[in-house]
Amino acid sequence: MQRVCVSIGNTSLDDALAAVDQVAPLADVVEIRLDLLSVPAISPFIAAINRPLLFTNRPEWEGGQFAGSEEDRLAPLCEALRQGAHYVDLELLSPSPSKQTLLREVEESEQGRLILSWHQFQGTPSFPELVGRMALMQDAGADIGKIVTTAHEPADVRSVLRLLEEAAKLEFPLIAFCMGRAGVISRVASVELGGYMTYCAVSEDEVTAPGQLSVAALRHIESIMGGEQA
C-alpha cells in the first residue's frame, strides 16, 4: 500500500533531481510534475530514484501548466510507462482517445498503473456528484481514482472522506482529499481512513497545490499519531 507521495514541482531538471534526493528517504512515491519542468524529462528520474515514480503532465484546463497539443502531452507519459514508471496520472476529463492510449501502454508495461484524476478548484460538489465521478473513473478502466476538491467548511471535508467508504465497498483504490486551509486535515485523515495515497510537498515553500503539507510535517504528524515513519 502506497501512502505518502511527494510532488516535485521544480522548473529546472537539476533542481528537481536535487529535491528528489533530499526527500526520497521520506517518500513512498515521488511525483514528477512534467508540466512544471522547463524541459520535461523521464530517464534522469528513472535512473536516479529508487522509489516508485508517478509522472503527471497537468494541462492548463485542470490547473496545470501544459499548454501544448494532446499528442505532445501524452508522449512523455507513454515514455514513462515504457521506461518502468509505476504510475501515470491522466485527467478524467481528458479525451477518450487519450485514455485509451494510456490504457494500452499500461497493459503493455511491466508494472505501470493508471490514475484517473479530477480536481475541483472552486469548491466541493454534492456527494452524489462525487460518487458519480468515481464511477466514471472505474468505468473508464482506471487502476486508481483520484478526487480532489476545495474545502470551504468542515462539511466539504466530511463529504470527500465519506467517498472512501463507497470506494471500499467497490474495492476500488481511491485517492480522496481536499485542497485549501479547511482541507488540510483531510490530507492526513485520508490514508488513515483507507485512502490509497496522500500528497505532500518537498517543503513549505515548494507546494504544488493549496493546503499541501511538507513531507517532513506530514511524517511528524504520523509519528505523533503512532504511525510508522519512512
* Binding-site entries for 3-dehydroquinate: 7, 31-33, 58, 187, 208, 212
Contact 32, 229 (CB under 8 A): no
Inter-residue contact 93 to 116 (CB < 8 Å): no
- What does the alpha-carbon distance between residue 229 and residue 119 come to, in Å, rounded to a whole number? 28
Question: CA 71 → CA 32, 84, 99, 184, 230, distances in Å?
Answer: 19, 20, 12, 35, 37
Angle at 114 between CA 112 and CA 118, to 5 degrees: 155
**Which residues are part of the catalytic machinery?**
119, 146
214 strand-pairing partners: 201
Residue 220: CB atoms within 10 A of its CB come to 13
